[in-house]
């Protein structure tokens, strides 16, 4: 009987030991799987954080690019407007011009007394200016008065006025800027104006200049009776 009890107890201990060993192995495998899952989860989180960081950086780059584009567009518009205004002012004669050109000096013949009869009329000066433009002149001044397309040449009480300013008399200095001073000079020497002035016994001296200054038009034009246009 005692022998059977010993055998039973030994078997029971063996079974218990087997269960303990199996439980230990199972716990070890479970712990290993959990550790592996944690490592993979941590790796996934790190990859997600890295991806999110790259996404944020890309968004910031795009925002900076957009801001730079807006700034460049604004500067470009401002530069274009400034350039357009400068071009308009230049075409309107509101800026001083400098360059090579021709100087024409008109004086009364020393053999002839200066009178109202031999003084140059406004129509003669206008014709002379038109010829200079046709020969290649770009900017012209008469006695320091800038000549524009709208410049008025008038005879007021026997006195010539240009842009509302009177000419004091001889000598009269005419300056013309041009890209080809020699051509303008040569054509003026055989022009109708030259022939007419010579016939009227007015001394003419034309010279080529390397540096001329044409003043800006100073009078401010005022628009009167302006009305707003109605939109269709």
Angle at 98 between CA 94 and CA 102, to 5 degrees: 110
Annotation: CATH topology of 97-214: Alpha-Beta Plaits (3.30.70)
Angle at 61 between CA 58 and CA 64, to 5 degrees: 150
pLDDT per residue of the chain (232 residues) written in tens, 0 to 9: 445 555 555 555 555 555 555 554 545 556 666 666 677 777 777 777 776 787 778 778 888 888 888 787 777 777 777 777 767 666 667 788 999 999 999 998 765 554 444 578 899 999 999 999 999 999 999 999 999 888 889 988 888 999 888 888 889 999 999 999 999 999 999 999 999 999 988 999 999 999 999 999 876 444 444 444 454 4
Residues 6 or more apart whose CB falls under 8 angstroms from that of 214 comprise 96, 97, 98, 101, 139, 140, 141, 146, 175, 177
Q: CA nearest 104: which of 87, 80, 128?
A: 128
| Burial per residue of 207-230, b for 16 or more beta-carbon CB atoms within 10 angstroms, e otherwise | eebeebebeebeeeeeeeeeeeee
How far apart, in whole angstroms, are the C-alpha atoms of residue 110 and residue 96? Answer: 34
- Mapping DSSP onto H, E and C, the string for 29-52 reads HHHHHHHHHHHHHHHHHHHHHHHH
Q: Provide the β-strand partners of residue 162.
A: 153, 165
- H or E segment to which residue 213 belongs: strand 202-214
Largest CA distance in the chain: 173
Q: What is the residue whose two structure tokens read 């008109």? A: 106
Token pair in block for residue 231: 């939109």
Domain residue extents for the chain = 1-91, 97-214
* Prediction pTM value: 0.59
Token pair in block for residue 187: 């054509």
Token pair in block for residue 106: 């008109």
Does the bond joining 171 to the residue before it have cis omega, within 30 degrees of 0? yes
């Amino acid at each position: 009987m005692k022998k059977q009890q010993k055998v039973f107890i030994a078997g029971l201990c063996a079974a218990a030991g087997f269960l303990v060993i199996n439980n230990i192995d199972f716990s070890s495998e479970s712990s290993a799987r959990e550790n592996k899952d944690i490592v993979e989860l941590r790796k996934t989180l790190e990859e997600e954080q890295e991806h999110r960081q790259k996404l944020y950086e890309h968004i910031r780059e795009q925002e900076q690019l957009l801001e730079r584009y807006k700034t460049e567009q604004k500067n470009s518009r401002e530069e274009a407007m400034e350039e357009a205004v400068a071009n308009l002012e230049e075409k309107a004669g509101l800026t001083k011009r400098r360059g090579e050109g021709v100087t024409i000096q008109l004086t009364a013949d020393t053999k002839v007394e200066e009178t109202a009869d031999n003084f140059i009329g406004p129509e003669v000066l206008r014709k002379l200016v038109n010829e200079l433009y046709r020969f290649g002149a770009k900017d012209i001044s008469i006695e320091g008065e800038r000549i524009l397309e709208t410049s008025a040449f008038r005879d007021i009480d026997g006195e010539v006025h240009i842009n509302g300013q009177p000419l004091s008399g001889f000598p009269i200095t005419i300056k013309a800027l041009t890209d080809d001073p020699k051509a303008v000079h040569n054509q003026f020497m055989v022009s109708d104006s030259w022939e007419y002035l010579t016939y009227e016994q007015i001394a003419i001296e034309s010279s080529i200049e390397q540096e001329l200054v044409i003043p800006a038009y100073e009078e401010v034009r005022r628009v009167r009776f302006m009305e707003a246009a109605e939109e269709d």
